Amino acid sequence: MIIINGELGSTIHVMDRGAMYGDGVFRTMRMRDGHVKCWPQQYRKLQADCQALDILCPARSVLEQEVAQLARDAADCVVKIVVSRGEGGRGYGVPDSVSPNRVVLAAPAPNYPEHFWHEGVKLYVCEMRISHQPRLAGIKHLNRLENVLARMEWDDPSTPEGLLLDAEGWVVEGTMSNLFMRQGTVLRTPNLSACGVAGLQRERILKYAAQLNLTPEITQFSLPVLLAADEVFICNSVIGVWPVRQIGNQPIALGPIAIHMQHLLESETD
C-alpha cells in the first residue's frame, strides 16, 4: 500500500524535487503487529532531517493516521516515509509556493536467514569511498548514489552488507547500517560529522551502552583497528542488530554485546 499526500496512489509528479534532485529525506521503520517500532523517536529524526534541509515536516498526527491505514492492510512490514521539498522549478531555485510531498508506504519485510542474528554476518569491504560533506552529514536524505554504487560492488546473498570507508580510510558505516566495535569495555562508533547517516538505532545503542557497563565513544578508527576489535556489530531499524563474524576475508570474534543489544533494542524502554 502506498499513500501519497493522504491518498492511495502509486505515482508522483515528475517535477517533484525528490525525483529531480534528491531534494528530500526519508525514514525506514519496522512495523510489527501494527505497531511502528520507536515511532516517537523516528518522527523526531524525520523532523530534524527536514529542518536541516529547510523542508516543512508533515504533522505527526497526519503521518500517524497514514501509518495506521497501512497497519490495517499489513500489520507486519517495513514502513517507509519519504518527504520531498515538493514540486517546482526546472532549475535548482526553490519556488516560493513549494509545498512538500509525502509518501508513506508499506513494503514486505526482508526475508534474511535467522542465523544472521545468531551467528553473525560477513561484510564486504566496498571500494567506493564516502565523500565528506559536513552540511549533509548525518541526514537521511535522498542523495544516495554513493550507497547504490557501493551496493552494486558485490552480489553474494550470503554477504548482506558492505563496509564503507571515507577517502582517508576511516571507517564510516555500512551501506544500510551503522557500525559499532567493542575494545574491552569501550564501545566505539564512527564520528559522522563529515559523512554518513546517523541512524536511530545507533543513537539508542549509544544510550544503552551504560546498561551493559560499556563506555560509549564516538570517534574515528581505521579498518586495521576495526579488524582487531573484540567484537563488531551493525544496526538499523529493520534488522535491529547483526553481529559481524567476518570483514572481507578476515574472521572477527563474536562477543556477548551484540546479542544483549538485540534484546535491549527490542525492549523499547528508552
C-beta closer to a copy of itself: residue 3 or 187: 3
Minimum CB–partner distance for residue 136 and a copy of itself (Å): 6
Of 140, 146, 159, 217, catalytic: 140
18 sits near a copy of itself (criterion: CB under 8 A)? yes
Judge whether 28 counts as a catalytic residue. Answer: yes
Among residues 1, 2, 225, 253, the one that binds a copy of itself under rule CB under 8 A: 2
**Choosing from 66, 87, 161, 173, which is the catalytic residue?**
173
Residues 90-114 as b/e (b if ≥16 CB within 10 A, e otherwise) read eeeeeeeebebbbbbbbeeeeeeee
The stretch among 14-22, 198-206, 247-255, 260-268 that binds a copy of itself (CB under 8 A) is: 14-22
Could you tell me which of 176, 169, 166 has the C-alpha nearest to residue 242?
176
End-to-end CA distance of the chain: 30
Task: Examine the residue annotation and report whether 173 is marked as an active-site residue of this protein.
Answer: yes
Rounded Cα gap, residues 83 and 27, in angstroms? 9
Containing H/E element for 234? strand 231-236
Q: What is the DSSP letter of 152?
A: T
- Of the pair 75, 152, the CB lying nearest a copy of itself is at 152
What 3 state SS string does 181-202 have?
A: EEECCEEEECCCCCCCECCHHH
Indicate which single residue of 1, 5, 21, 76 sits in contact with a copy of itself (rule: CB under 8 A): 21
Q: Is 153 designated active site?
A: no
Instruction: Please give the residue ranges that form the binding site for a copy of itself (CB under 8 A).
Output: 2, 4, 9-14, 16-23, 26, 28, 53-54, 78, 80, 82, 84-85, 90-94, 103, 105, 107, 110, 128-129, 131-133, 135-136, 141-152, 167, 175-176
